[in-house]
Amino acid sequence: MNARQAGKGEGGAGPVIMILAAASLWSTIGIASVYSGAPLLASLVRSVVAAAAAIPIYRSFNKAAAAAGASLGFLFGIYSTAAAVAGVGLAAFLLYTAPLWTAIFSLVIGETPGRLGLAGLGMISAAVAIAMIDAVSGGASLLGVALGLASGASYGAYISIARLFSRAGMGRDVSYGALPYATIITVPLFLISISRGLVVMPSQFVKPMAAGAYLGVLCTVVPYRLFSLGVSRLRATLAAMLATLEPVLAAVWGYVFLGQVPNAYEYAIYALITAALIVSSLEAR
């Protein structure tokens, strides 16, 4: 099959636009979380709004949906907090250390990466080491880096769970079916934040509620749908490469809207993780 035939088989520009649109919407999660003033409350509202939108589409009552939903709940809460503490760009790129954690989780079920995958994992590991050096030297928040890596681990756990159950024909269970279960985690996280005095007063709930609604609809339900439609008509390799637009745009929004300028360590992290994502995605071929 030549390149022209492959392009026709993949549906032309439509699927590409869908993937890029999904990545663009996801790239605004950090900005919305910071502007909310209360990331954990915004995450709770996000999970409730996403659940309300997902339940009419697909309901699932099994361990696959619950496990995937729990990992999404951690992801929603931790990533939003990481963006507020570490900075939008750094948090977004640390989120994309997910392939490292996915590889670790996958070893449990007997999967091992190939040479390109190992090369990508090596780059991500180097980026993690640089992030820790940056934090220890005072260039970045140590708590922020830890939260960013934890969000990557949560994302990696979700990817591993989704892959495992999707192979058993339970793809919808771990996508739309999982969203209602995210509240299992976001509710306790929110209650913990209240107990520690980390939540704004009730009179200041408007911003986090609005941000949470935005996150639930335009950063969860809509982009998940766009991505699923796009990836069904594209090679997984190309879809993964296009999705790398998300952390790049997130860093741009952090600079434009919050004046967050990356230091030399962070530029190195961005470059390594972007290269690792591209190299690792090639292995899918």
Please report, in angstroms and rounded to a whole number, the separation of the first and last CA atoms in the chain: 15
Has residue 4 got a pLDDT over 60? no
pLDDT 10s digits, 230-269 = 877 877 667 778 888 999 999 999 999 999 999 999 999 9
Gap between the Cα atoms of 92 and 36, Å rounded: 17
Residues 263-282, mean pLDDT to the nearest whole number: 92
Confidence of residue 11 (pLDDT cuts 50, 70, 90): low
Has residue 211 got a pLDDT over 60? yes
Higher pLDDT, 192 or 202: 192
Higher pLDDT, 116 or 197: 116
Has residue 63 got a pLDDT over 80? yes
Coil, strand or helix: which one is 136? helix
- pLDDT value, residue 204: 72
Instruction: Name which of 270, 284, 205 is nearest 239 in CA terms.
Output: 284
- pLDDT value, residue 199: 58
- pLDDT value, residue 283: 66
Confidence of residue 12 (pLDDT cuts 50, 70, 90): low
Has residue 201 got a pLDDT over 80? no
Six-digit token string for 216: 């639930």
* Alpha-carbon 66 to chain mean position: 18
Six-digit token string for 103: 């590889």
Q: Any residues with CB less than 8 A from the CB of 109 and at least 6 apart, and which?
A: 164
- The answer to whether the pTM exceeds 0.85 is yes
Residues 21-31, mean pLDDT to the nearest whole number: 97
Has residue 1 got a pLDDT over 60? no
- pLDDT value, residue 9: 46
Greatest C-alpha distance within the chain: 62
pLDDT 10s digits, 133-178 = 999 999 999 999 999 999 999 999 998 898 889 888 998 899 999 9
